[in-house]
Amino acid sequence: MRRKQTGSPELKQVRALAIDIFGTVADWRGSIVKEGRPLKRSVDWGAFADQWMTGYRSRVEQVRTGQRPWANLDLLLSEAFADLVQSFKLSDIPKDKLARFGQVWHRLRVWPDCLPGLRRLRTRFTVGTLSNANTILLTDMARNASLHWDCVLCAELVKRYKPEPEPYLLAVESLGPRPEQVMYVAAHKWDLSAGADKAHLRTAFIPRPKEMPDDSSDTGPDPSYDIDAKDFEDLADQLGA
Amino acid sequence: MRRKQTGSPELKQVRALAIDIFGTVADWRGSIVKEGRPLKRSVDWGAFADQWMTGYRSRVEQVRTGQRPWANLDLLLSEAFADLVQSFKLSDIPKDKLARFGQVWHRLRVWPDCLPGLRRLRTRFTVGTLSNANTILLTDMARNASLHWDCVLCAELVKRYKPEPEPYLLAVESLGPRPEQVMYVAAHKWDLSAGADKAHLRTAFIPRPKEMPDDSSDTGPDPSYDIDAKDFEDLADQLGA
């Protein structure tokens, strides 16, 4: 169901990939559940992870729509975390352990196809992040997961969150410089359609399981994007890397 | 002649290094001479390299001081190159070879201590660039030289050239977030003193031979900086990496 074949002239111009991180590369839910479970057995850590995500995303939306001034993701994650420490009654966990757990996003694990797939893609393309997370979080996470990026691009650099146009335009300027030279890769259709496609980047969709808590229909193949790939290894196959 | 010992409390807070590229990491003069020589034997390629550098730096100054609007380094380098093609009478060189040579900054070679020194430093610190070059140039150069950065920070991201404060503040936000957590490493004293030191970053000076055409006295040890290092291997020694 690809709109354009790999060998098409459009895709031959691609020289760089800009890649979404949370969900697309990082298994944030699994990472939170795994680190949370030993802290307190009685907690529903899957629900905790989902609420952490919805808590920071609602804050991202407040910033994105101008209801509050710029704040980076580390700050929004810590605000959402403080709420959950109350509502999930976690204050009996030792303070140092709780503080360390609050930084779990800096240590997110990645889907197993990422390391081999990205290694292959980097042999042929310049490969950078394009994330709503901030640089410190992204560099910490990459170092912890042994991921290698050619550069780290993020919302913090333009003080605007995706799907506002500025982050995608940053990717074009930093990796292209023409939009058709840059392919945006994400597991979220809102991100691809409302963001990257509007900014005229090439697009690749990689479905991931249960990326949104209320979302069961989001992972089907979609002819709107230049490439539908099963994972990063399949993306490397399709791009001839 | 170090102002602060490696084990000092000040330096123990350093978690990241921001590193100047042209001169400090890249041997731009040697790279230009080496690629230029086979194109035309009669040219003084050392003089050509120096004039290319002074040609782009005067343009950087025009942008930095507001005499012209933002333009990235690839554009300023190509303008300076076009001048030199005239003055050094290079138009008899085949067009494709000349165009490729015009991009030599994307393929700069690095001083021999950089690869082993930076590899050691990255085991202990987050290590990024902080360059007046643009992202595409920096990622191309790193890929060509097998350098690995945790992130690529540059003037293009803030649309202001060093030694204006914005690039150094970008390094603090992206790597710190406190200024004493970030050490700026450069071979240029103007860059360290007028830029990094003023923005309260930690500073390390690495002398490089004949970094400025008119400059013979610039490489002596200097107690103004937190660390004087012979090269990146020595910097790794001094920082215990």
B140 CB within 8 Å of a chain A CB: yes
- Chain B positions touching A140 (Cβ under 8 A) are 126
As a residue count, chain A comes to 241
Contact residues on chain A for B150, CB-CB shorter than 8 A: 139, 142-143, 152
H-state helical runs in A88-154: 95-102, 114-124, 135-145
How far apart CA B134 and CA B198 sit, in angstroms, is: 23
Span A141-155, mean pLDDT? 98
Per-residue pLDDT at B1:
41
Q: Which residue carries 């895709």 as its tokens?
A: A11
Contacts of A157 in chain B (CB under 8 A): 157, 170, 174
The interface predicted TM-score (ipTM) is 0.94
Of B142, B150, B173, the CB nearest to A143: B150
Is any Cβ of chain B less than 8 angstroms from the Cβ of A140?
yes
Nearest CA to B58 out of B45, B46, B71 is that of B71
Q: Do B152 and A148 touch (CB under 8 A)?
A: no
Given CB atoms, is B177 within the 8 Å cutoff of chain A? Answer: yes
pLDDT at A9: 74
Q: Do B142 and A148 touch (CB under 8 A)?
A: no
Residue B222: predicted pLDDT: 75
Q: What average pLDDT does this structure show over A188-205?
A: 92
Domains, chain A: 9-27+110-238 (3.40.50.1000), 28-107 (1.10.150.240)
Bridge partners (DSSP) listed for residue B110: B26
Under a CB-based contact definition with an 8 Å cutoff, are residues A184 and A167 in contact?
Answer: no
d(CA A21, CA A12): 24
CA distances to A34, A162, B20, B98, B206 from B40, rounded to whole Å, are: 63, 50, 31, 11, 33
Contact in structure between A153 and A18 (CB atoms under 8 Å): yes
Q: At which residue do the structure tokens 């890929």 appear?
A: B143
Q: Which residues from chain A sit within 8 angstroms of residue B126, using beta carbons?
A: 136, 139-140, 143
Evaluate whether B72 touches B157 at the Cβ level (below 8 Å): no
Asked if the model's pLDDT at residue A196 lies above 50, the reply is yes
Q: Does B142 contact chain A (CB < 8 Å)?
A: yes
pLDDT at B5: 53
User: What string of DSSP letters covers chain B?
Assistant: --SS-TTSHHHHT--EEEE--BTTTB-HHHHHHHHHGGG-TTS-HHHHHHHHHHHHHHHHHHHHTTSS----HHHHHHHHHHHHHHHTT-TTS-HHHHHHHHTGGGG--B-TTHHHHHHHHHHHSEEEEEESS-HHHHHHHHHHHT---SEEEEHHHHT--TTSHHHHHHHHHHH-SSGGGEEEEES-HHIIIIIIITTT-EEEE---TT-STT-SSTTS--TTSSEE-SSHHHHHHHTT-
Distance CA B157, CA B167 (A): 8
| CB-CB contact of B231 with B118 (8 Å) | no
Do B174 and A151 count as a contact with CB atoms less than 8 A apart?
no
| pLDDT tens-digit profile, chain B (241 residues) | 445 555 677 799 999 999 999 999 999 999 999 999 999 999 999 999 999 999 999 999 999 999 999 999 999 999 999 999 999 999 999 999 999 999 999 999 999 999 999 999 999 999 999 999 999 999 999 999 999 999 999 999 999 999 999 999 999 999 999 999 999 999 999 899 988 989 999 999 999 976 655 555 466 777 889 999 999 999 999 999 9
Note whether A175 contacts B135, CB cutoff 8 Å.
yes
Q: Which residues of B touch A142 (CB under 8 A)?
A: 150
Kindly list the residues from chain B whose CB atom is less than 8 angstroms away from the CB atom of residue A138: 151
Average pLDDT, chain A: 93
Bridge-based pairing of strands A202-205 and B16-19 is: unpaired
| CA atoms of A44 and B41, how far apart (whole Å) | 73
Q: How confident is the model at residue A1 (pLDDT cuts 50, 70, 90)?
A: very low
Residue A37 has pLDDT above 80, yes or no: yes
pLDDT in the model for residue A2 = 46
Q: Is the pLDDT confidence value at A3 over 60? A: no
Q: Which residues contact B234 (CB under 8 A, 6 or more apart)?
A: B113, B117
Of the pLDDT bands very low, low, confident and very high (cuts 50, 70, 90), residue A188 is: very high
Q: In the block, which residue shows the tokens 């990326």?
A: A211
Q: What is the mean pLDDT of residues A117-121?
A: 98
Which pLDDT score is estimated for A220? 72
Yes or no, beta carbons of A135 and B143 under 8 Å apart: no
Least confident of A177-191, A215-229, B30-44: A215-229
Q: Which of B144, B151, B159, B160 to mutate to test the interface with A (most CBs of A within 10 A)?
A: B151
> Mind listing the pLDDT tens digit for each residue in A62-82?
999 999 999 999 999 999 999
pLDDT at A5 over 90: no
Minimum distance, in Å, between the CA of residue A42 and any CA atom of chain B? 36
- Which of A174, A175, A178, A182 has the most B C-beta neighbours within 10 Å, making it the best mutation to test the interface with B? A174
